[in-house]
Chains A and B, each alone.
Chain A
Amino acid sequence: MKLTLKIWRQKNADAKGKFVTYDFDGASPDMSFLEMLDALNTKLIKARIDPVAFDHDCREGICGACGMYINGHPHGPGKAITTCHLSMREFKDGDTIYVEPWRAKAFPVVKDLIVDRTAFDKIQIAGGFISTNVGSAPDSHALPVEKSKADEAFNSAVCIGCGACVAACKNASAMLFVSAKIAQFALLPQGRIEAKERVQAMVKKMDELGFGNCSNTGACEAECPKEISLVNIARLNREFYCAKVSP
C-alpha cells in the first residue's frame, strides 16, 4: 500500500508543532495501524530521523494507551476499536491519512502524538474508589448484588480511560469518562456509601482541570472504543443533584 501520511510532529511540550508529510509505501493491509507506524519508524530510524512518538502498551484493546486522532476520528475509522485494533484494511492504496494527537487543554501534548492524560488520574484520585479494610478477598456471595445492576456496573467499568471521549467531544468534555467511573460504583452497594462525596469531588476536579461542558452531542458515545453509553452521563447528573439536595 502506498500512503501519504500527514503526521503531527512536535519536539516537546513547549515546541511549536507542525504536520510533516511522509510518502510511505511499506504498509500492508494485514498490518494494524500501530504496526504500520512501527514500519514507518523503522524507516525513519534507518534514515537517522527522529521516529514518531506515540503511546502504546497492550496492543490488545484493553489498556487505552494508543490514542490518536486518525482522519477525523479518535482511534480512527471503525466502530468500537482502539487504534491498535485498527486494521490497515480500513484504508485504500493511495489514501492520505491525517494523524493528530488528542486536542484538549487538559491533555497537553508531550511529544508528537503523545499527550499527558494525568488529568484522568487526578479525577480518579479525587473520588474514583471505595474505602474498605484491606485483607483477604471477601466471599463473592457475601454481598448480594442484583444481576441487572451488576451487568450495568460492568458495562460502565469497561471504560479504559483512553480519552477518546474528550478527543471526540467538540467541547473537550470528560463527562463520559467521569460518568462511567461514577456509575460503576454508584450501581453497587459497596460504592453507595461514598456516592455523594464521590460525585461532587470528581465533578469538581474535572472542572478544575479545564475540561469543557457536556452539550449532549453524543460524539463521545459514538466514538468510544468500549461503547460507554450516554445513560451514564444522565446517571452522573442524577447522582450530582441528589448529592446536592440530600442532607
Chain B
Amino acid sequence: MDKFLGSCVTKKLVMAIAGLFLILFLLVHLGINFLLLIDDPVPFNSAAHFMSNNVVVKVFEIFLIAGFLIHIIWGIILQVQNWLARPARYKKTAFSQTSFFSKYMIYLGIIIGVFLFIHFMNFYFVKLGWVEGDHENFYGMVNDLFQLPLYIVIYLVSFLFLAFHLHHAFQSAFQTLGLNHNKYTPVIKGIGLIYSIVVPLGFSIIPIVIYFFK
C-alpha cells in the first residue's frame, strides 16, 4: 500500500493539504450560512442556487468532495498504521504537556463524519436529487430543521467537536508543511486557536438565533 501512498511524510502532507483546503471551505460555507439570519429567503436561496449551478463552483465541488474523501481515507489509513505500530499498550499512562486534542483526532473525526453524513442527507443529496426535498428552497428547509431541538443539539455538539478537531488540525497542518519557527509558530497557533473558536461559534449562533428569535 505504501508504494502507492508514499512515505509517512507524504501521507501526512496529503492529509495536511486536504485539511487546509477544508478549513478554507468552512469560511465560505459560514459566509453563506450567515445569509440565513436575514428574514428574506431570497439572498440565501440565490447563494445556494449559485453554488449548485455555477460551472466554476461545480469544478470546485469536485475538489471539495475529493478533499473530504482523501482526508477521511488517509486519516483512517494513518490511524490503523499507528495502532499497528504499538500492538501492546501500556498499563499505566500519564499526562504529558502535549496538544491535548491531537490524541483524539480520529474519534473527533468520526463524530464530524457522522454529522457530515446527516448534513449530506439533509441538503447535498437533496440537491443531487438522491433524497426528496425542495432544493430550490434550502432556506425553508434549514428553518424547518432548526425548529427541532434534537437536531439543534446534534448540530451544536458536532460543531463543538469540530472546534476541538480544528484546534489541533490548524497548527498541525503547518508543522507538517515544514513550517515551524520560534518567530511565527506562536502566530500560527494563535490564529488556529481563534479560528477554532470563531468559526464553529459562527455556525452555532445560526440555529440558536433561528430557534429563539425567528
Interface residues of A (CB under 8 A from B): 6, 8, 19, 69, 71-73, 77, 98, 100, 103-106, 168, 170-173, 175, 203-204, 206-207, 210-219, 222-223, 230-231, 233-238, 240-241, 244
Interface members, chain B 79-122 (any A CB < 8 Å) = 81-82, 84-99, 102-103, 105
Q: Is B175 on the interface with A (CB-CB < 8 A)?
A: yes
Closest chain-B Cβ to A179's Cβ sits at a distance in Å of 10
Cα distance, A210 to B8, chains bound together (Å)? 11
Chain A CB within 8 A of B172 CB: yes
Would you call A241 and B93 a contact (CB within 8 A)? no
Bound-state Cα–Cα, A244 to B10, Å: 10
B8, B78, B84: which contacts A206 (Cβ < 8 A)? Answer: B8
Q: Please state if A211 and B85 are interface contacts (CB–CB under 8 Å).
A: yes
| A18 smallest CB distance to B (angstroms) | 10
B179 within 8 A of A: yes
Name the one of B78, B86, B178, B181 contacting A237, with C-beta atoms under 8 angstroms. B178
B49 contacts chain A at the CB level, 8 A cutoff: no
Q: Across the interface, name the chain A residue whose C-beta is closest to B169.
A: A216
Give A19 to B91 CA distance when docked, in angstroms: 9
Q: How far is the CB of A24 from chain B (nearest CB, A)?
A: 17
**Bound CA span A137–B171, Å:** 43
- Residue A231 contacts which of B95, B97, B181 (CB distance < 8 angstroms)? B181
Q: How many residues of B contact A (CB 8 A)?
A: 41
Which of A8, A175, A210, A214 has the most chain B CB atoms closer than 10 A to its own CB? Answer: A214
Q: Could you list some 13 contacts between A and B, CB below 8 A?
A: A100-B90, A170-B103, A173-B85, A203-B7, A206-B8, A210-B84, A213-B78, A215-B172, A216-B102, A218-B97, A219-B96, A234-B175, A241-B178
The residues of A that contact B92 with a CB separation of less than 8 Å are 71-72, 98, 100
**A235 in contact with B175 given A173-B85, A210-B84, A214-B8 (CB within 8 Å):** no
B178 and A217: CB pair below 8 A? no
Residues of A within 8 A of B172 (CB): 215-216
Check B178 against A235 for contact (C-beta < 8 Å): yes
Asked if B177 is at the interface of the complex by the 8 Å CB criterion, the answer is yes
Bound Cα distance from A207 to B1, whole angstroms? 12
Residues of B contacting A6 with CB < 8 Å?
91
Chain B residues contacting A236 (CB-CB under 8 Å) are 9
Known: A98-B92, A203-B7. A215 touches B177 (CB 8 A): no
The 8 residue pairs across chains A and B that have the minimum distance between CB atoms: A72-B94, A212-B85, A234-B180, A238-B178, A171-B82, A237-B178, A172-B85, A98-B92
Number of A-B contacts defined by CB within 8 Å = 126
Highest count of chain A CB atoms <10 Å: which of B85, B105, B168, B181: B85
| B12 at interface by CB-CB < 8 Å | yes
Cβ–Cβ contact A213 & B11, under 8 A? yes
11 extra A-B contacts, CB within 8 A, seeds A73-B96, A172-B85: A103-B90, A105-B87, A175-B8, A207-B7, A207-B8, A212-B85, A215-B172, A217-B99, A233-B175, A235-B178, A244-B10
Check A237–B13 contact: CB distance below 8 A.
Answer: yes
Given contacts A98-B91, A203-B8, contact A104 B96 (CB under 8 A): no
Return the contact of B86 from the options A19, A77, A103, A207 (Cβ within 8 A).
Answer: A103
Flag whether B176 is at the interface (Cβ < 8 A).
Answer: yes
Question: B85 touching A210 by the CB < 8 A rule?
Answer: yes
Of the candidates B86, B94, B178, which one forms a contact with A104 in the assembled complex, judged by CB atoms under 8 Å apart? B86
- A203 touching B9 by the CB < 8 A rule? yes
Residues A213 and B8 in contact in the complex (CB < 8 Å), given A171-B82, A237-B178: yes
A100–B172 CA distance with the chains assembled, in angstroms: 30
Which residue of the partner chain B has the closest CB to A237? B178
- B40 at interface, CB cutoff 8 A: no
User: Which residues of B are found within 8 Å of A103, using beta-carbon distances?
Assistant: 86, 88-90
Instruction: Kindly identify, within residues 159 to 192 of chain B, every residue whose CB is under 8 Å from any CB belonging to chain A.
Output: 168, 171-172, 175-182
A235 proximity list for chain B (CB < 8 A) = 178, 180
Contact B86 A100 (CB under 8 A): no
Which chain A residue has the least Cβ–Cβ distance from B173?
A216
> Which residues of A have CB within 8 Å of B178?
234-235, 237-238, 241
Chain A residues with Cβ below 8 Å from B90 are: 69, 72, 100, 103
* Residue contact A230 to B103, C-beta cutoff 8 Å: no
Q: How far is the CB of B194 from chain A (nearest CB, A)?
A: 19
